[in-house]
Chain A
Amino acid sequence: MTALTMPARPKHDAGLRPVPWRRMAWVTWRQHRAALGGVAVFLGAFAVYLWLTGLQMHHAYTADCHPASSVACTLNFTGRYATTGNVVSIFVQVVPALIGAFAGAPVLARELETGTFRYAWTQGIGRRRWTVAKLVLLAVAVAAAAAAFSALFSWYNQPFFAAGYVIPFSTRLFGLREVSFAAWTLAAFAIGALAGMLIRRVVPAIAATLAVYAGLALATALWLRQHYMAPLVTTKPNLPGSAWAVSQWYTKGGKFAFGAHGSGIANAVNQLCDNGNSGLSPGQCLSQHGYTVWTSYQPASRFWPFQWIEGGWLLALSVLLIAATVWLVRRRAA
């Protein structure tokens, strides 16, 4: 047995070298390899599916979709794969939430729930380094896995975009594309970590993470995203290709008349256009009566800037949430 002799008292704290950061690599891996493995297996299985189906789709597209508007395309490509593609994208929507909830929430919640924090936070490395290292390592890991997965998913969807079946800004798909998907996964993880620290129980923290993430994702898709840059406005009835129509309204004589949906336009169409029986489309009919249609839209060229904006604010949010989590860890009394 080795008996170390220690100085009666270290001269001052600065003389005590802190435990190196790299030690936390094994610790994080060993304690969370189940979660990381689960994520890997889950994404991996999904990826295999996407790969196999995607190959078929690409083949069908190449064979039949030149031009994309041909009947053959509709028959052999869009008709066969569109529904599947929709369903798949719905499943993929859920992926960041699941990863965030199951990889992020238990990190702190399980330690607090089982009492093992009384061991972890009294070790020489100190609770700050322990928390920061764990959260950063896991965050980077899940974000990287998500980025790889979304690259494959984008490849999978590429025929749909090429065939004009969906626009780049598709609400359903925007958040699942390259930068966005990784950022959403990161944000979900950060939400999970903070929820775990606040709630201190694993299952409720997972539930809370899923709920908060869903709320945030919905709010972004339905409202926030369209405001990243001021939309362009036009009176042309047809938008440039693949643009994203944000909203539409009618004016008459320079004044706002009614929006493109709702009772206002319905009444007008009833009154002026014989309820659609005049043989003209509502748009043509209304314009005959002096109404001008305005459309605000985001052009397709703004796709990448929007991706970066979304990625940017999600990244900032994640950093903020993780910092808040670390701050709570330092403050928390046993």
Chain B
Amino acid sequence: MNMNIVETSGLGKRYGGTWALRECSLAIPAGHVAALVGPNGAGKTTLLNLTVGLAEPSAGAVTVLGGWPAGSPAALDGIAFVAQDTPVYKNLSAADMLHLTRNLNRRFDQPYAKARLGELGIPLNRKAGRLSGGQRAQLALTVALARRPRLLVLDEPVAMLDPVARHDFMAIVLTAMTDDGVSVVLSSHVLADLERVADYLVLLSHGRVQMAGEVEDLLATHRMLTGPAAEADRYAERPVVRVGRAEAQAHLLVRAGMNDPVPPGWEAHPVSLEELAMAYLREPGAGALPGPARSRNTQPSEVTR
């Protein structure tokens, strides 16, 4: 599958006078777990709502599943969405939710859903309002996956879950990816555990895309230089993302490949995804967008310090 599961060009959304999202141009390839990362209010939920057709763009366009307009019948058919706080009908039982979802969609794998709920120990006849938060989240995820979507969109899926529930939830999402080739787009404002799960990253800050790309590429093109603080300024002209400076020692997060020569007297280390994301989020001015090969929008703009 060599298509873009989500593609946006100049996408923007305005609520009243405020732009929740602006000039968002992305090309997320299929077969990945793409993580939307950013602080609260960065525009993650807005972008997800636009992708699943719950909101209409104020500017630009968004297409999904290789070119279908977001919100079109083909898009609705192939995308399953689990919103924040995993809304389920509190007065319906799990069995009712299965029946409901089966009626509202073309495809529904009832045996899979029943088997999954059985494995998770979620009773079929109890009203959803009386299930625990983790069980409700698993129920919402089960009905979503039973629709056999090509894309699963999750908005802060694990924010409310305890660590065990979190692990179980993600394990099911990822095995769906393995078994059926489902692509995943999820938003999170928790950076830990991201590297285990995500292989495509979109960093949002104040409604704009600050950085986007395959995690592998991002990690390969950044590293941390540690060296004497006195020399730190010498690198002002290099693409430096973040400077941490103490009296004697400075850390620079730079955009450079691992084969680029290390300046004498300096040490170079690879960065972790968490470190990288944190650094960019702390420097709203820094940005690194995908290169021309990956998107139709051929304007990679980097802001250098």
Direct contact of A and B (CB under 8 A): yes
> A residues bordering B, Cβ < 8 Å?
1-4, 6, 8-10, 13, 16-19, 23-24, 26-27, 30-31, 34, 114-116, 118-126, 130, 331, 333-334
Residues A24 and B103 in contact, CB atoms below 8 Å apart: yes
Residues A8 and B3 in contact, CB atoms below 8 Å apart: yes
For the complex, give the distance between the alpha carbons of A120 and B37 in Å.
Answer: 26
Task: Tell me which of B1, B15, B112 contacts A8 (CB under 8 A).
Answer: B1
Top-8 shortest CB links A-B:
A334-B54, A118-B83, A123-B104, A124-B105, A23-B103, A115-B87, A122-B81, A333-B55
- CB closest chain-A residue, reference B78: A6
Segment among B66-74, B228-236, B249-257 that sits at the interface with chain A: B66-74
Question: Is B199 interfacial (CB-CB < 8 Å)?
Answer: no
Task: Tell me which of A2, A122, A130 contacts B53 (CB under 8 A).
Answer: A122
Task: Tell me which of A9, A19, A116, A331 contacts B105 (CB under 8 A).
Answer: A19
Residues A2 and B109 in contact, CB atoms below 8 Å apart: yes
- Decide yes or no: A26 and B99 within 8 Å by CB, A122-B76, A122-B79 being known contacts: yes
For the complex, give the distance between the alpha carbons of A19 and B78 in Å.
Answer: 13
Residues B76 and A30 in contact, CB atoms below 8 Å apart: no
For the complex, give the distance between the alpha carbons of A125 and B105 in Å.
Answer: 6
Residues B89 and A3 in contact, CB atoms below 8 Å apart: no
Q: What distance in Å separates the Cβ of A6 from its nearest Cβ neighbour in chain B?
A: 6
- Decide yes or no: A30 and B87 within 8 Å by CB, A3-B180, A126-B73 being known contacts: no
Q: What distance in Å separates the Cβ of B58 from its nearest Cβ neighbour in chain A?
A: 9
Question: Is B85 interfacial (CB-CB < 8 Å)?
Answer: yes
For the complex, give the distance between the alpha carbons of A27 and B79 in Å.
Answer: 21
Q: Which residues of B contact A31 (CB under 8 A)?
A: 89, 92, 100
- Decide yes or no: A123 and B54 within 8 Å by CB, A9-B66, A115-B85 being known contacts: no
Residues A123 and B76 in contact, CB atoms below 8 Å apart: yes
Residues A2 and B140 in contact, CB atoms below 8 Å apart: no
Residues A124 and B52 in contact, CB atoms below 8 Å apart: no
Q: What distance in Å separates the Cβ of A31 from its nearest Cβ neighbour in chain B?
A: 7
Q: Which residues of B contact A115 (CB under 8 A)?
A: 83, 85, 87
- Decide yes or no: A119 and B55 within 8 Å by CB, A30-B100, A114-B87, A126-B73 being known contacts: no
A-B contacts besides A119-B88, A333-B54, 20 pairs, CB < 8 Å: A1-B109, A2-B109, A8-B1, A8-B3, A9-B3, A13-B72, A27-B104, A30-B92, A30-B99, A31-B89, A114-B87, A114-B90, A120-B104, A121-B53, A122-B53, A122-B80, A124-B76, A124-B104, A124-B107, A124-B147
Q: What distance in Å separates the Cβ of A286 from its nearest Cβ neighbour in chain B?
A: 65
- Decide yes or no: A123 and B105 within 8 Å by CB, A3-B180, A115-B85 being known contacts: yes
Q: Which residues of A contact B92 (CB under 8 A)?
A: 30-31
Q: Which residues of A contact B87 (CB under 8 A)?
A: 114-116, 118-119
For the complex, give the distance between the alpha carbons of A126 and B104 in Å.
Answer: 8
For the complex, give the distance between the alpha carbons of A234 and B284 in Å.
Answer: 84
Q: What distance in Å separates the Cβ of A113 from its nearest Cβ neighbour in chain B?
A: 11
Residues A17 and B54 in contact, CB atoms below 8 Å apart: no
Question: Is B56 interfacial (CB-CB < 8 Å)?
Answer: yes
Q: Which residues of A contact B103 (CB under 8 A)?
A: 23-24, 26-27
For the complex, give the distance between the alpha carbons of A115 and B92 in Å.
Answer: 15
For the complex, give the distance between the alpha carbons of A125 and B77 in Å.
Answer: 8
Q: What distance in Å separates the Cβ of A137 from its nearest Cβ neighbour in chain B?
A: 13
For the complex, give the distance between the alpha carbons of A223 and B100 in Å.
Answer: 47
Q: What distance in Å separates the Cβ of B202 from its nearest Cβ neighbour in chain A?
A: 19
Q: What distance in Å separates the Cβ of B84 from its nearest Cβ neighbour in chain A?
A: 8
For the complex, give the distance between the alpha carbons of A23 and B103 in Å.
Answer: 5
Residues A118 and B54 in contact, CB atoms below 8 Å apart: yes
Question: Is B101 interfacial (CB-CB < 8 Å)?
Answer: yes
Task: Tell me which of B91, B101, B150 contacts A123 (CB under 8 A).
Answer: B101
For the complex, give the distance between the alpha carbons of A120 and B81 in Å.
Answer: 10
Q: What distance in Å separates the Cβ of A203 from its nearest Cβ neighbour in chain B?
A: 17
Task: Tell me which of A8, A30, A116, A334 contacts B55 (CB under 8 A).
Answer: A334
Q: What distance in Å separates the Cβ of B52 from its nearest Cβ neighbour in chain A?
A: 5
Question: Is B163 interfacial (CB-CB < 8 Å)?
Answer: no
- CB closest chain-B residue, reference A23: B103
Question: Is B196 interfacial (CB-CB < 8 Å)?
Answer: no
* CB-defined A-B contacts under 8 Å, sample of 6: A2-B112, A26-B99, A30-B92, A30-B96, A121-B53, A333-B49
Interface set, chain B 4-18, CB cutoff 8 A to A: 13, 15
- CB closest chain-B residue, reference A15: B74
- CB closest chain-A residue, reference B153: A122
Q: What distance in Å separates the Cβ of B62 from its nearest Cβ neighbour in chain A?
A: 13
B3-38 vs A, CB cutoff 8 Å, 1 = contact: the mask equals 100000000010100000000000000000000000
For the complex, give the distance between the alpha carbons of A119 and B144 in Å.
Answer: 9
Q: Which residues of B contact A2 (CB under 8 A)?
A: 109, 111-112
Question: Is B193 interfacial (CB-CB < 8 Å)?
Answer: no
Task: Tell me which of B77, B90, B99, B150 contacts A16 (CB under 8 A).
Answer: B77
Q: What distance in Å separates the Cβ of A263 from its nearest Cβ neighbour in chain B?
A: 54
For the complex, give the distance between the alpha carbons of A116 and B136 in Å.
Answer: 13
Q: Which residues of B contact A125 (CB under 8 A)?
A: 76, 104-105
